[in-house]
Amino acid sequence: MVAAATRRAREARVPNAHFARMDAERLECADAGFDVALCALGLMYLPEPEGALREMRRALRPGGRMVSAVWGERAHCGWASVFGIVQAEVASEVCPLFFRLGKGDTLARACAGAGFESVQSQRIATTLDYANANEACEAAFAGGPVALAWSRFDAAVRERVRRRYIESIAPWRNGEAYRVPGEFVVVSARAPASGGPARRPDRT
């Protein structure tokens, strides 16, 4: 992904875009070096998303803006059955805390706890539209949160998992197509405009 993004930026003649892979909970960035921090559907995968929010706060200049989006309530995401279906085929729980930040005002409170101000939260209902069952399965397994487990399944397990998932989203079938409900929580906030930039505490 980093290599592809770098190549596309070069082809588009965008010289001031740089891409790097690093630990979200300990960014390799200087204090107060950015105007904006964005995180789209990433915090759910982290063992300590609160640490990642503190790091974004540290990397922002005073008054800098942060926007983060996560999936909302599990009950409002029709595709959420994919976790239990895949989990039945593996030894460990799959993404056990995936929907934690989407509950109530959890993400907004985490942002405030990380030192952000002017925290605003919005809950957005959406529909995931797929032309057919193959497209719905591709989105759920090949490019979704269970992609790693899916990549290790043999053909028999894939067929079993795929069949169970299609059955689980049957209520939202419309002919050959599927319109699966989903929900996002989007939070925007700002780093304090005064008091100097946040600094990462030294580890001993």
Q: Does any domain span residue 71?
A: yes
The CATH number linked to 74 is 3.40.50.150
In a domain, 201, yes or no: no
Closest to 67 measured CA to CA, from 11, 134, 12, 122: 122
Contacts of 167 (CB under 8 A, 6+ apart): none
Classify residue 53: in a domain, yes or no.
yes
Mean pLDDT by 10 residues, the chain (204 residues): 96 96 96 96 94 97 98 96 95 87 97 98 98 97 91 97 98 98 98 76 52
Residue 135 belongs to some domain of the structure? yes
The per-residue pLDDT for 198 is 73
Residue 84: strand pairing partners? none
Q: Is residue 203 part of a domain?
A: no
Please write down the HEC assignment for all residues of 30-98.
CCCCEEEEEEECCHHHCCCHHHHHHHHHHHEEEEEEEEEEEECCHHHCHHHHHHHHHHCCCCCCCCCCC
Q: Is residue 33 part of a domain?
A: yes
Task: List beta partners, residue 60.
Answer: 34
Rounded to an integer, what distance in angstroms lies between the CA atom of residue 190 and that of residue 197?
Answer: 12
Contact 25, 51 (CB under 8 A): yes
Domain extent for 89:
2-190
The verdict on residue 50 lying in a domain is yes
pLDDT of residue 144: 82
181 vs 194: CA distance, rounded Å: 42
Is 43 within a domain? yes
Separation between Cα atoms, residue 153 and residue 11, nearest integer Å = 37
Our count of domains for the chain comes to 1
pLDDT at 176: 98
